[in-house]
Structure 1
């Protein structure tokens, strides 16, 4: 009787272990290594969701927004998988950045970041008038990116040499216009050039156009009429002190010549009908700093209301008049007998 009970007890124990063994689950490591979701924030804080196509993570960046150098994506992957670089890690926002997803079973899949920059190419025109050294360059149009890290300007000469134009001190720089002043030095010569604009992912080349010698406002750095507000007599000398740039010395022959003088007689009309003009030759010049003109014997008594020392463009022989004084800019000077 005892043996039967022992046998029944042992059988019960075996049965229990068999039942427990049949309830044990087998866990198999999965091979899922997919990027499920990949998002970044644009410059306005909006959520941009990438399109996952094959091994490409395509992010469509909005137009007219500055493209960041780096982004910190939020990433979801297959359950149990891991990704490197991890979600939230800052990476360069450029094509070719890779991500590796590792499944539970150790299998790997690599994805590549592909920024899709939705930036239209700029459309613009260049100065309608002539362009001079040390003068102004006007670009008028649309779709400029007002960011010096993404927008670059170059002049390209006939030999293919690129000359960078700084936008840091641009007079205007926005999505519709760029205005800069060309350098007041010898870094740019006269001649034909093309303009190269790099604007984000777009590059536009225009030209050729011609750059001429500097105008008077560029080469004449300062000038002063030394007798302003004083009384001059016939036979006295008018003296003008001035400073010119290296551009002026290069492109202008002898720089200054005759003086164009306008005198309003003592009893002359306010409308200027009686004004008398004189063309006075240069009587002396001290290097590149001082001009002297002797008042002629036939000059009428009155007030000097305008005078302009002329200059000659070395390349063409053209005569110009770069500077003048009148009652609004200098005290009037009186001429007496």
Structure 2
């Protein structure tokens, strides 16, 4: 009888322990956190690891000027034990503010996380904000650091009314200058007034000067050559060629024209003096003649390019250079 009592007691204890263990193992877990969030970049050579702060997934894209933020990415994500996440790890998502993830715990409760994306790209910075004053058609430059090597940075002139005008981008130099003409590409002009300068990089991130750097004056507009040819121009000694001009008219003339090129022997810039032939009836084209003794095999240089010294009512104006263009002008045999 005593042995039988001990047996029943032992059976009851084992049964209790077994039921406790079963209840512990089957209880749904409430955990619903993101524990790791990584995005591959540089063709998988490296990864960007998110900063997880409460319900925010902070992504700081690396500061590499030549590496744009992609539109979509496939993050690798880990979550709490027994939890699931939607969208799933390795699923393509839009890399932008507000993109959301939902983590659902085993017990059915859920938590939503949202992306906050910071562009860590190196932005253009003004080297100085020296005042620039020029008439319509005049040329000037703004100095920057951190310009993109591919020349993709763009500048705008912005007035107090927040109106933006895109000047003609003439040239970007390796040392960080953007040269521009005080006119818009379509020739519609930029009103006289004072302007802030806004630079925008390829990521569409703006940087604005703290002062009104540029003043467009009411002085007589300066004529300038505006290239628009769609293929290279080849011209022989003694021949003439015609190019578009803006801000020209009856009272204007050209008393000097130079064709700048790089001398193959010295490696330095040199020039050929052209003969100004005249303008058309609409005053929107001018023609020049190549001298008979001009060197051949030379192309318009990418800095000073085609230079003219216009006159107004017989008085010399500031020289104007039309520099780099996608299609050159070449003097041939």
Q: Could you list the per-position Cα deviations for residues 57-109 of structure 1 after superposition, in whole angstroms to 9, with x for gaps in the alignment?
A: 12222223433333221100011111111111222222222111000111011
The equivalent of 2:192 in structure 1 is 191
**Backbone CA RMSD of aligned residues:** 4.8
Counterpart Cα distance in 2 of 1:285 and 1:163 = 29
Counterpart Cα distance in 1 of 2:35 and 2:227 = 67
The equivalent of 1:3 in structure 2 is none
Going from structure 1 to structure 2, the CA distance change for 1:64 and 1:243 (only over 3 Å counts) comes to: closer
Counterpart Cα distance in 2 of 1:166 and 1:319 = 24
Q: Could you list the per-position Cα deviations for residues 212-256 of structure 1 after superposition, in whole angstroms to 9, with x for gaps in the alignment?
A: 6664542799xxxxxx97xxxxxxxxxx9977635213xxx5334
The equivalent of 2:142 in structure 1 is 139
The equivalent of 2:86 in structure 1 is 84
The equivalent of 2:28 in structure 1 is 29
Match of 2:103 among 101, 104, 112: 101
The unaligned stretches of length 5 or more in structure 1 are 1-7, 222-227, 230-239, 261-283, 292-307, 324-329, 331-337
Q: CA deviation at 1:141?
A: 2.2
- Structure index of larger Rg: 1
Going from structure 1 to structure 2, the CA distance change for 1:30 and 1:286 (only over 3 Å counts) comes to: closer
TM-score where L is the length of structure 2: 0.56
Contact 1:219–1:248 (CA under 8 A) maintained in structure 2: no
Counterpart Cα distance in 2 of 1:68 and 1:147 = 18
TM-score where L is the length of structure 1: 0.55
Counterpart Cα distance in 2 of 1:89 and 1:175 = 43
Counterpart Cα distance in 2 of 1:198 and 1:88 = 32
The equivalent of 2:64 in structure 1 is 64
> Secondary structure at the residue paired with 2:247?
helix
Contact 1:145–1:175 (CA under 8 A) maintained in structure 2: no
Match of 1:203 among 202, 207, 219: 207
The equivalent of 1:254 in structure 2 is 251
The equivalent of 1:276 in structure 2 is none
Going from structure 1 to structure 2, the CA distance change for 1:207 and 1:147 (only over 3 Å counts) comes to: farther
Going from structure 1 to structure 2, the CA distance change for 1:166 and 1:76 (only over 3 Å counts) comes to: farther
Counterpart Cα distance in 2 of 1:144 and 1:309 = 31
Q: Could you list the per-position Cα deviations for residues 124-166 of structure 1 after superposition, in whole angstroms to 9, with x for gaps in the alignment?
A: 24798765655655333212356898x5532224654212358
